[in-house]
Amino acid sequence: MIVNELAKQYEIDIEVERLNHEAERYALLRNGRSPRIARQFIESIK
């Protein structure tokens, strides 16, 4: 997933399962999955 690669780049230490779950939740609340939404999610948790 894009979010996993972005988390590595930003050196975010979080369990992969939790990261994916939270990213999915974030995407659903914002009406879609895209690289832009993934980056916004990562920015929101860093």
Write out the chain in H/E/C secondary structure: CHHHHHHHHCCCCCCHHHHHHHHHHHHHHCCCCCHHHHHHHHHHHC
Integer CA distances (angstroms), 37 to 11, 18, 24, in order: 18, 17, 10
Q: Report whether pLDDT(14) > 90.
A: yes
pLDDT digits (tens, 9 = 90+) for 16-41: 999 999 999 999 999 888 999 999 99
Q: How far apart are CA 41 and CA 27, in angstroms?
A: 8
Domain map of the chain by residue range? 2-45
Q: What is the pTM of this model?
A: 0.86
Is the CB of residue 41 less than 8 Å from the CB of residue 23?
Answer: yes
